[in-house]
Structure 1
Amino acid sequence: MAQAQTTHATTEAHGGAHEEAGFPPFASETFGGQLLWLAITFVVLYTLLSRLVLPRLSGIIENRRTMIAGDLDEAAAMKSRAEEAGSAYEKALAEAKGRAQALAQETRAKLSAESDAKRKALEADLNQRLAESEATIAAKKAEAMGHVHGIAHDTATAIIERLTGKAPAPQAVEAALNQIKA
């Protein structure tokens, strides 16, 4: 009996009869309020995402696409210029060889001794021109490839800066490009 009085006294001290309460989100009395707050939260988050976040992301992605397309167009233009230079080089080389052979045939007909000396001089000149032309083409190609790395560095820096709001460390961008290259 003393125990029943103690239990009754503690129940009254806590505000009435102590009921067995389950997990609050599963209580059927709170479903309406939970659904209301779920709907409000969903609408607020959806509005924030659709009005603020998604337009920014789509703008960044579109800028990235245009930059990549521009870089690809520029690379294609450089490639076509290199191919044009190569074909012009081949044509000039073919013309130069044709002229050298014609000149050599004429001089052989005149004097064989003089023709050998002149032919050797012309071949040395052609080889020098050929070497200079090859060096020029190699330099142009190396210069073009050097620009590709710079463009990739600038593009990566701009993308990271636009996405994060601050410029990345140049060493980090360089390390990432070197990792991709390897």
Structure 2
Amino acid sequence: MATETTAESASACVGPNGSAIGMPQLCGEWVGNQVFWLILALVAIYFVLDRVALPRIQAILAERQGTITSDLAKAEELKAQAEEAERAYEKALAEARSEAQKIAEETRAEIRQQVQDAQDKADAEIAARTAESEKQIAEIRASALANVETVAKDTAEALVAALGVNADKSALDAAVDKRIEG
């Protein structure tokens, strides 16, 4: 009988050979035992997380936050430096453009002056050549008039001689001079 009571006192979840019948997790007699070990495991996990894992995670998060904050500050500083560099670049570019404009204007003025000087020199040379040409023309005209007078006197003398009239050379010259003058 004693063995019967022991067998009866054994659970309905355990078979006669000591193995579990069905799924032991679903056995209602073992629920208290399972709850105890569940609470014990959760408390152990909580203490491990609270004392070991969470401080490490918090340290990593704080380090990341510090890195992010430092990177943002550095980015703001670099942005300010970039804006400063851009302003300096724009200023230098404006100065360079202004200087280029000034140099271009000076060069244009210099070229205009050179052109004006060359034109004045050419005008002076043309005026000198014109005066010289007019002088030569006047000399040629005077020479031509003298030659015309000589030719007219010789022609008059030849005509008078051809007509058979004996005329004085000085009288013929005076008549030709009078006729040439108008």
TM range, smaller chain: 0.3 to 0.5
Rg: which structure is higher?
Answer: 2
**Greater relative contact order (Cα < 8 A, sep 6+):** 1
TM-score, normalization: structure 1?
Answer: 0.45
